[in-house]
Structure 1
Amino acid sequence: MSSRNQENKAAVWDYWQKLNHVPNDQVADIIRSAVHDDVNWNGSAPIDQVQGVDDLIADVWEPLLRSFPDLKRTPDIFMGGIEEGESRYSSDDGTEWVSGCGHLTGTFVEDWLGIPASGKKTHMYFGQFYVMRDGKITESYVMLDVLSVMRQAGYEVLPPSPGADGGKVPPPAAGDGILLTEQDPLEGRKSIQLVDAMGRGLERYVRDRDGGDMSRMEQWQYWTPDMKWYGYSGIGRCYTLEEFADFHQRPWLHGFGDRGLSSNPDDGRVMGFVGEGSYACGGIWDVVFSHHHGTYAGIPATGKLMTIRDFDWWKRGPNGLLIENWIPIDLIDLTRQMGVDLMERLAVLVDERKGKNWW
């Protein structure tokens, strides 16, 4: 199994390196060489699902490269694993995963997704999970921080983030997030077991019973006090466990806060809960997670049953506790379920700046 994981990582890493270095008119050939013809590709809103390599090239890559012709990928974390039931979140079906996160950087020269081109160098955080079959990509789940691209172009469609925002999301402090070589499987199990225990702590919270009291979750058992939590634009970053509680957990539990609503295995996609070395990763895509109970991101409660797209990469520190967490959440998808179209908000702002509909 470890050799298969190494082969999969090598295939994806080679794919990423080629995309960084070939001329844009050769990108389609590189994609076809690495991706199955019938690939199931899923991107964060407003891109969403694309079926098949032809549409992936035409609908995703070609517009992206027209807007950012010098686009380059800089990974901060790169890892893989085969699901063998090591996590209570994962199956034991042998699904082969490769995942990574980091930045896409390019000069923004043509409008993209309705965002006006700034002409400036732009950094867009990405997170990605691949399912591998016979050495090629058969499923792909991609988070792109579209809200950050809007902000860098001068457009704000949400209230200020509770946590710190702006600038590039930091890589692992130890600089050890690119796991190209084989890792000690015992260390990987330690990482995923710690994440499992932390998740069980989160699930001890019961909204109707606990309200704003988060003490039952006992997160101090699993995180260092100076932990770093890196959220996407609209949520922001937290630099201590106390900030994590105040800037993310409290607003999130006020807005949502249900636990254990999704028990249907066909409800969305649970992905890649694997550990490798001192890192663990996992994600959920269009999985039911809570009702919309209270105001979040300035949007009043709707009572709707919500699904979520959410990735995580965790770093286990030398003291056996979690020290860093990178967590993209698709807020454009989340808010549209709450009845607010952030892309329409952007369009209104763009028209106002052009002097249209000023009356």
Structure 2
Amino acid sequence: MKTNFSNEKQIVRDFYARLDKACQTDIPEVLQAFTSPEYLWRGFHPFNEITSAQEVGESFWQPLRGALTSLQRRIDVFMAGQNSIAEQGGVWVVSMGHLMGLFDQPWLGIPPTGKIAMLRYCEFNRVDNGKITETAMFFDIPHLMMQAGLQPFPPQTAAHLVQPGPMTHDGLMFDPQNTEEGRKTLDAINAMISDLGTWALGLPLEEELARTWNDDMIWWGPAGIGATYTIERYAKQHSGPFRASFSDRSSTGHICRLAEGHFGGFFGWPNFTAVHTGGFMGMPASEERGEMRVIDIYRRDGAKLTENWVFIDLLHFWKTQGVDILARTTGISTGQETGARGAQK
């Protein structure tokens, strides 16, 4: 199995360098230069799936760059690895951090502030034969709404902050890493997923979590849920209420799962589905099965996981429940979800 991902990392770093410095009008051309003709881009609602680099540039990057002026990319984690999901395959390069700029123009109906704004993001890029063939670009739109003074959701059960990178400050893995450490990290992630299953391990929640998490774990959740610290508070402020609000959870499905060094992560489209029985984020029950599109990035400390950055497409989830959060909060209807194939996955 391939263990050195220097070439793929350099391609993505070159792509970022060109994209971040490009004039707004040149962005589609940059995307076309680095992507394959069969390119597939997956982004959070209202963008969803897009199969044209030109359209990604015109519908996502150009409006974002026009809204967040003087945009800069602030990366906290950068890694790569062979996809451990054999049927999906490929080498994927992952970056996570914030896109920071001056919020000078409206974006998706969110009013500008004229101040610094930070859009949390995490991006998985599959690289084949020198080209980016797939991208999963997840970003926390509700957090940007909150920075603009909007309140898209009821009060959170935890706290949402401008989230820092790893406590150890070693997430930028531009150089090759120890493969054994990566294997240990992937094993820890897989053990956690196995325990999670369908919430049917049979142990008290805190005992279940302690099997794969350190006691001083930090769960950096998305806006609308918030971040929480220690197993005890995570169980009380997110995991317990979340499990109590859903039934009939499907099995977990990922498109990519990888690890490098002490870090790893995955994404799905969706990761799982479940029926909302009521109470999640203060919302009423629904008879419609909801989709959870999620990216998780992890840091391992010792044999267990200790930090977790989480991106959930809550706008899409609530749209599947009949609630258009973006339209309700901004007053601007998103209509049909944009993108080549919308939310049919």
Whether the TM-score (by the shorter chain) exceeds 0.5 is yes
Is 1:323 the equivalent of 2:306? yes
Aligned amino acid, residue 321 of structure 2:
M
1:282-301: CA deviations, max 9, x gaps?
Answer: 11112442122222112111
**Conserved 8 A contact 2:67-2:103:** yes
Bigger-Rg structure (1/2): 1
- Report the counterpart of residue 344 of structure 1 in structure 2: 327
Corresponding residue of 1:335: 318
Residues 38 and 53 of structure 1 are in contact (CA less than 8 Å); yes or no, is this contact kept in structure 2?
no
- Cα gap change, 1:3/1:190 in structure 2, threshold over 3 Å: closer, same or farther? closer
How far apart are residue 48 of structure 1 and its match? 1.5
Corresponding residue for residue 154 of structure 2: 159
Shift of 1:151: 0.7
User: Aligned partners of 1:184, 1:78: CA distance in 2, in Å?
Assistant: 15
**Aligned pair count?**
333
Q: How does 1:123-134 map to 2 (within 5 A)?
A: 123-134=118-129
| 1:145 lines up with 2:140 in the alignment | yes
Q: Does 1:302 find its partner at 2:283? A: no
Per-residue deviation, 1:214 = 2.4
The 8 Å contact of residues 78 and 99 in structure 1, kept in 2 or not, is answered as yes
Aligned letter for 2:182?
G
Question: Contact 2:315–2:325 at 8 Å: present in 1 too?
Answer: yes
Deviation of 1:93 (Å) = 5.3
Give the Å deviation of 1:37: 3.2
CA contact (8 A) 1:24 1:65 kept: yes
Aligned to 1:354: none
Report the more deviating stretch, 21-30 or 150-159: 21-30
Residue 210 of structure 2 corresponds to 220
Q: CA deviation at 1:66?
A: 1.3
- Using the size of structure 1 for normalisation, the TM-score is 0.87
Give CA-to-partner distance per residue, 1:192-228, whole Å, 9 cap, x none.
Answer: 1111111222226339x88xx525x621121111111
3-state DSSP of counterpart to 2:112: coil
Is the contact made by 1:78 and 1:101 (CA closer than 8 Å) also made in structure 2?
yes
1:274 aligns with 2:274: no
- Does the CA contact (< 8 Å) of 1:205 and 1:214 recur in 2? no
Q: 1:174 — aligned with what? A: 168
Pair 1:186-2:180 in alignment: yes
1:249 pairs, out of 233, 236, 239, with 239
Please give the TM-score of this superposition, normalised by the length of structure 2.
0.90
Residue of structure 1 equivalent to 2:337: none
Q: What is the RMSD computed on CA atoms of the aligned residues?
A: 2.2
1:232 to 222, 232, 237: 222
**CA shift at 1:112, angstroms?**
0.6
Give the 5 Å matches for 1:49-68. 49-68=49-68
Residue 250 of structure 1 and its aligned partner are, at CA, apart by 1.3
CA distance in 2, matches of 1:143, 1:91: 23
Report how far residue 22 of structure 1 moved. Answer: 3.8
CA distance in 2, matches of 1:79, 1:239: 25
Any gaps of 5 or more consecutive residues in structure 2? 334-345
Distance 2:261 2:37 in 1: 33
Asked if structure 1 preserves the Cα contact closer than 8 Å seen for 2:34 and 2:132, the reply is yes
Once the two structures are overlaid, the 10-residue window that deviates more, 300-309 or 13-22, is 13-22
Q: Does the 8 A contact of 1:75 with 1:101 survive in 2?
A: yes
Q: Distance in 2 between matches of 1:113 and 1:133?
A: 33
- What is the DSSP-based 3-state SS (H/G/I as helix, E as strand, rest coil) of the residue aligned with 1:73? strand
Question: For the residues of structure 1 that align with 2:205 and 2:191, how far apart are their CA atoms?
Answer: 16
